[in-house]
Amino acid sequence: MAEVSSKPIPLLKDELDIVIPTIRNLEFLEMWRPFLQPYHLIIVQDGDPSKVIKVPEGFDYELYNRNDINRILGPKASCISFKDSACRCFGYLVSKKKYIYTIDDDCFVAKDPSGRDINALEQHIKNLLTPSTPHFFNTLYDPYREGADFVRGYPFSLREGVPTAVSHGLWLNIPDYDAPTQLVKPRERNTRYVDAVLTIPKGTLFPMCGMNLAFDRELIGPAMYFGLMGDGQPIGRYDDMWAGWCVKVISDHLDLGVKTGLPYIWHSKASNPFVNLKKEYKGIFWQEEIIPFFQKATLSKDATTVQKSYVELSLQVKEKLGPIDPYFVKLADAMVTWIEAWDELNTASEAKHANGVAA
């Protein structure tokens, strides 16, 4: 006899990995248990590899520390950041699944205005499984949501949309502000629940935050490189931004969509604005040149895959951003190394599949 269950149905259970970068025990998962326990986790341990990270019982996971990364990638490990959550992209590299959801360990389950717990992953999956509409704006937002559609004046030829590559979720409570804004508005909290998902139009860049992010690894994975940040690098807190700029340019080029809006998570703790300022300050003035660079970047007709597009973009980074600072030359090289590592670990044969510590 069929039982009526109030348990959420885990969509795409065998096609999605959850990637978590962390330096501490993962108690935050307790709150996520009803939604995330059915899924496989890839934990990327940052910092001291001798530290033992505790994962709540019942979760299925593999965990990689710096020693694992060095062992698996060899000299190519240089492209993976250390002492920075940018290391999370190693998880994207070793996953074999079609979809990735990545979440920070200071993010908790948020509530919708009716007081119900938000199943963030379920909403991300809905976003990814419905098309995007980057070529024309729909004023009632995502036309594929229940109760919505394309409004009068929306061209019929564009109503099929394009495949969605990225679902960018938002945050209640602590907003994702830069250090100067944190300093100026230390008490500002995001309390506004905006019940919308929308496609970021073609040709428009956005600040992609890595806190609550899902993507189709097969469609865009190789562009989800979080750059060189943290230990030994002149900047931090631009890892997700860098990935977002590259991802958007390449998505536009390959006619893929990027959605933003729902789902919300509850962001519990503001990071220290003084520490952040130190990490960000070069990024804050570099971005004034980086963003116009990405706004103008175009890719050739030969760039028919994400990998080819990404390598082409790396050459432009070296040429156009290199003159700003030698850091960008190093970053451009790391972008190429990343693609090499991606291709090495993601060949058709599973023989090369690197294994971490399996639970």
Binding site for a second copy (CB under 8 A): 113, 136-141, 147-157, 168, 170, 175-178, 181, 185, 188-196, 200-209, 237-238, 240-241, 244, 260, 280, 284, 287-288, 291
* Residue written as token pair 């994975």: 221
Nearer to a second copy by Cβ, of 48 and 149: the residue is: 149
On the 0-12 / 13-18 / 19+ scale of CB atoms within 10 A, 152 is exposed
Q: Under DSSP, is residue 6 helix (H, G, I), strand (E, B) or coil? A: coil
Q: How far is the CB of 201 from a second copy (least distance, A)?
A: 4
Among 63, 26, 58, 55, CA closest to 39:
58
Among 90, 87, 54, CA closest to 72:
90
Phi then psi for 166, rounded to 5 degrees? -135, 140
Number of CB atoms found within 10 A of residue 65's CB:
22
Nearer to a second copy by Cβ, of 119 and 199: the residue is: 199
Q: Where are the beta strands (DSSP E) in 46-161?
A: 60-64, 99-103, 107-108
Nearer to a second copy by Cβ, of 113 and 115: the residue is: 113
Number of CB atoms found within 10 A of residue 30's CB:
11
Nearer to a second copy by Cβ, of 238 and 338: the residue is: 238
Q: How far apart are CA 205 and CA 258, in angstroms?
A: 10
Nearer to a second copy by Cβ, of 55 and 208: the residue is: 208
Angle at 115 between CA 139 and CA 3, to 5 degrees: 100
Q: Are 46 and 311 in contact (CB under 8 A)?
A: no
Number of CB atoms found within 10 A of residue 14's CB:
10
Q: How far is the CB of 82 from a second copy (least distance, A)?
A: 22
Q: How far is the CB of 3 from a second copy (least distance, A)?
A: 32
Q: How far apart are CA 145 and CA 45, in angstroms?
A: 37
The alpha carbon of residue 229 and the mean position of all alpha carbons in its chain are separated, in whole angstroms, by 15
